[in-house]
Amino acid sequence: METTIFYIISAIILVFSVLTVTTTKILRAAVYLLFTLVATAAFYFMMEYNFLAAVQLTVYAGGIVVLIIFSILLTHQINLDLKKINSIKKITSGLVSLFGFILIGNIIYTHTFKATSSVIADTSVNEIGRTLLNYGDGGYILPFEVISVLLLAAMIGAIIIAKKK
Amino acid sequence: MHSEGLILFFLAGIVMVGMGVLLSSLLSPKKQNDVKEEAFECGIPTEGPSWLQFKVGYYLFAILFLIFDVETVFIFPWATVMKEMGMVAFIEILIFFVILGLGLIYAWKKDALKWE
């Protein structure tokens, strides 16, 4: 059953990834990318990385795609069809993709995956929260507060750039 | 992974949505004409494409939204252990909020939230 779901999700990811790069309407490419990202989140849920899946959905599917769609809508060439790609570009990009596929496939197949007997790290949201807020040994409270400073810097930077006349 | 629940979920979804579509297409009277096929826009005939260029002002709001979106990601794990950790967790998140609140105040002061 789990294998079946895995193949269904894989098929969704593959189909929409190909559609993302082959469609001639740019706004549709963004929406196909959204489907790819959501299907990736489904993978994380399958592996029970619930927090990672939630981050994938809120930040990538909810945030980044919105930003991409906004960027597209700000341009005035939304309705134009993208140019047909010429055959030289098709062949070279095909070769590059093939090379990448062979490289990654080679690495995966020559690597021997050993089943480990050691305890798998607890990745539940509860445990992440406990570690993130822990100020003792092995706690991440300082990075947690630094994140807010980083976000503050990002916000101020965005406002300064946007408000510059 | 509880696959029985998942199958049931999909089946229920297919039945609930599918039956609605199927029954309404079977029961509804069908008289098609050109006017009915038009997109409805306040009763006025539609004009031009629907994919229009947006005002640049939206972009700043999108970025501010994204930053607070990332902030919520860090509130999830806090919310699950808030009761268990008590006052310490509360003070920690308070510091987190105050620092980000400064950003909101800055945006407010710089009129970034004002629509132009």
| Interface predicted TM-score (ipTM) | 0.72
At B5, is the pLDDT very low, low, confident or very high (cuts 50, 70, 90)? confident
Give A64→chain B minimum CA distance, Å.
7
CB A90 within 8 A of CB A21: no
B58 touches chain A (CB under 8 A): yes
Indicate the residue type of B93.
Answer: I
Domain B2-109, architecture per CATH: Up-down Bundle (1.20)
Average pLDDT score over chain B:
85
SS3 A72: helix
pTM score, whole prediction: 0.75
Q: Residue A144: which residues within 8 A CB-CB, separation 6 or more?
A: A132, A133, B74, B92, B96
Q: Where are the domains of chain B?
A: 2-109
Q: What is the pLDDT of residue A118?
A: 74
Residue of B58, B63, B78 lying closest to A158 (CB–CB): B63
Q: What is the pLDDT of residues B26-84, one digit of tens each?
A: 998 888 888 777 777 787 777 777 777 777 778 888 888 888 888 888 888 888 888 88
Q: In chain B, what residues touch A54 (CB-CB under 8 Å)?
A: 73, 76
Q: What is the pLDDT of residue A152?
A: 93
At B20, is the pLDDT very low, low, confident or very high (cuts 50, 70, 90)? very high
Q: In chain A, what residues touch B111 (CB-CB under 8 Å)?
A: 163
Q: What is the pLDDT of residue A12?
A: 95
SS3 A134: coil
At B2, is the pLDDT very low, low, confident or very high (cuts 50, 70, 90)? low
Residues in chain A with pLDDT values less than 50? none
Q: Which fold has domain A1-82?
A: Four Helix Bundle (Hemerythrin (Met), subunit A) (1.20.120)
Q: Which of A155-159, B11-15, B110-114 has the lowest mean pLDDT?
A: B110-114
Q: Where are the domains of chain A?
A: 1-82, 86-113, 114-165
CA quadruple A69, A74, A78, A82: dihedral, nearest 10: -80
B111 touches chain A (CB under 8 A): yes
